[in-house]
Structure 1
């Protein structure tokens, strides 16, 4: 229904009407309308003629200034209030209400919309449907009107009439303690007349409805929003001709006097209900005034109500300069913590008022010195007892000192972990990153890779173009690494002209493609520091393998780099087969492992086959020895025995764990492949250096890691040779028991 927000009215019956007319001339409204039969010669040329202005003055007395303020603020609202007052007066005269009731009803009708003085002009002039935030401002006008009248009206009768004007007859709308006939009859009448005039007069947001349509709307809401008996009485009254406007006004003025009207208006010595936004006890005032943080109070209309001393010190704006003015983000040069300007749409203060939600924001504001500082702003909506939003409070804490300390810490960490020339990660930070990457990817079983690259003939660059040009060449290459690398990769300067790229979640093929892209981009890039000439670099690439440590994977990548240089430079070389080969496990059945455990002298024993000639297999073993820092104990034409110190092995649980050196013996024998190619078969056995070391609980697990690493280096697969197995057959307690030989199963 297109009426004013929730109205309350009560049903009309004989008990509501005074027993008879009261003709006491002392009362101003009791003889309000003496209907005249002869037409008046007076005419009113405009909305507020001289007679209307006199009527307002004698009806409101000294409070007429309130009405004229509303007229200056929004002329259509004042015109509506005057029409409602006149119609209520006529209706009250027909119902023979008591004189004091008619007085109060007229004053309440004239001022029932006084709260719209607190609504922004753009909301009152909105031609279409109001937005949620604008509707909230319009609803708030009811409370503003009650606060204005409470501060200057002597007694609560008129204020109560306006308050219960917004209540519904059946009590289903709003938090009112009255409903039905308990609501004053004047409030129920005002609700009906207010709605009728709103519907039958052109509004900026819709055209006027016909009288019949307005009657239909009133009847449709009779019993819910309006008193049904009063609706019937009002519609019956409006269906009969009314006296002329000028005649009724003339008779009204004959009995009104400003002296009588002023009885409603005087300074409220008892102190009427003050604004909830401004009522603060002295200790609260003192607390807010002297608190270290800046505190600001803003009402629902974005008007600044409070500005404490800390806010003055922080912003340089005095309390007198800002209180009473409207809040805007430009007032403090508001920006987010990244320096981006905040607009009215993103202003957290407006958002808090509209949404009714609090929040903590890191903002930048302009301080008293004109410089921008960072503050932590705690914005909290203020909600009244009736659940309506009254405004918001802002508490701002200057965090520029804390932020400066954080920036200093970040700066120190950056300088401690970065190469000062290229800005890449330095070697110490790269070592930590490599250890973390290897441990993490070993645990989850996912591939990761390392790229080592070295600028070719860098000494010649320094000797020919000077060290300054050499530095610029290093910077240019570092920028290219960062540009081509993935976002998750870590680019580091390893030392001199050597660089490392750590590639998490990346296999050999992907890392080799990345290295090739960097190589080709560098070769095609003219260097201004070198007189427009190009420079090249060599690359070594490898992927993590089973049993790898941070040292072994880095050493293998370095060997790949050396091979690139030996092959002529400006080349990408990739070594290792990664995690493609399946893990080697114990293939015996559980019953065999339980009854016949392996001999304690040998931890692991395997026969493997690699599809490379014997000499190349020996070269791969040489790489294993170099990467694991192993010691060669014995070498023959067909075998090699090496010792791996436990310090270089993974899986050391505690610092106090004693290292367990392991002996690896490899026997090679050339064989012919299916296609006639030269392959190599390798028998591998791993045992502790001393017999007592076999009691070390993690010795077998470390031996398995070494076996997997050997398998990766040689690109070998497990091979079961029945001839070799037959040579290992020997009697055991099991064969003695059953009279049959048993083949020894290696662990």
Structure 2
């Protein structure tokens, strides 16, 4: 902390157990109030770097959690002492994993019971390490309590521990792992609320939900000032600051570190590097395309034929002794052999695999794997592309045109909904494009568009579609890509745009904004585009030059078919026998469908989700009467319905919200707060006789409604665990 009297840095017992003499601030270091500068130079830095050497993904996770906690603390206007304590605890909350064996820490599937018991030892290891670094009892307590939620009432935890537990869970859920996909932000938020009161502090979960609901550029700017160059290690400097100083060996470092990297990312070969222990240390973009596994989930994992998707040529598993890695390790000679690679989405490719041993002196230092696509499909792609190019390409930017996007988008959505595989859509544009035209001229504006489109096309995978949507807006369809993955890719594109000089703009750079969303149940082309466009609008409104993600994705809840089992269908009987039941509802005999859902989020968050549902479906708010809401959804402008041969109709949704108590475990006596949502669908026209078409439209609307709320249908079993207010 900083002494208000002297302005000098002093160690404080809140985060350091041992008092030290005041340390002068280095000239140019700036921000003398930041005690993390001292923690970076002290014993804590050694612990963090030891963890990074042991398992880099764990260190990356700790750094993300620490920065999220720092942002949250700034928003809460926490005292500097508490904020610094929280930041250091977040950086070190997983430090105990230093003592966990590699075979458990790097396991690519879920741990069994015995392995989980070993993993639990990290708490004791962390305590020993922190005591050895003379950490204060409070810092040690925060780190220990972070792993305690679920075993004790959150109200008994220290405030910093409660915040850290939420940030830790959030980052774990929204980060892709090799054995599972990342959760969308909507699904992760639902999980936090579902465990509020028993694992997480309810009021803090609500506060955290408010924090992440919208981008907060003012907090990002403060966070960058506080952290960058002080705690975050190994930040790339880039070439915009005058270029590298070519001292002895610098030219070789430039070639090895820059040129070779670009080459490895550009060549049409899957390239994988393994160290001497079989751990993956490099996995290029072609390997990502070939297998479906992203580099972020494979690097630092132990290589296996299953991870690569290797199969024999007949499609079966590799026989004992056929593993190419084991063969090369045994023989110390190069191997060339044909295999099949099974992509994560199930399709198979014929490949030729070349494995090179790499030696350091006489010792085997590692292996290089090169895989080339030998399938007929790869050979035919160029011919098919050339035949369609003229009809489907925008003449200026050379990406797909609007007509091709309109043709491909419905197929893209239907294919991913039917397969259950994730698919995402990005919509992006150049910031202040009108200003570019006004300042440099329309020719320069055209060249800026060409540069922007080129970066998008270069960053996209071969199976993705990059299309010009109109003006300076572009759309990218990302196959087999969920919300978190698409967001990470959009961020890479945004950075590339920001770093690329444009000659027509006198060598200056431009910025861009991205809206990202994932296909979710009930979607059609209109709702998917509208949700992505809403995310782009949010990015623009919150300062531009950023990526915003919206939507719950395919993990929004049960499938559409499962959800239909819990929908009351009043359209099945129009002979009057259903009228008695129907009259219990506002729709009278014209009621089509009704359903009940349960969501963990409070009513105010449900209302926020409904606002997005209304906007994306071009709906209107007809009436609000306390917890009762009436929505009007006009499908007459929905071109997707016309393509399916249906006559679009205008539907009314009656939505009622009720706060209830829910027994999370059937045998538990502990109740949690939930929101019960009752919704009925009826046509606006009382005598509309297009019954089957109306029912289909109502069913899709309810499916979409459930996905937006990330809610579960209320089954008979759930009803027994719900207590409604009297």
The TM-score range, normalised by the shorter chain, is 0.3 to 0.5
What is the TM-score normalised by the length of structure 2?
Answer: 0.39
Give the alignment's TM-score, normalised by structure 1.
Answer: 0.38
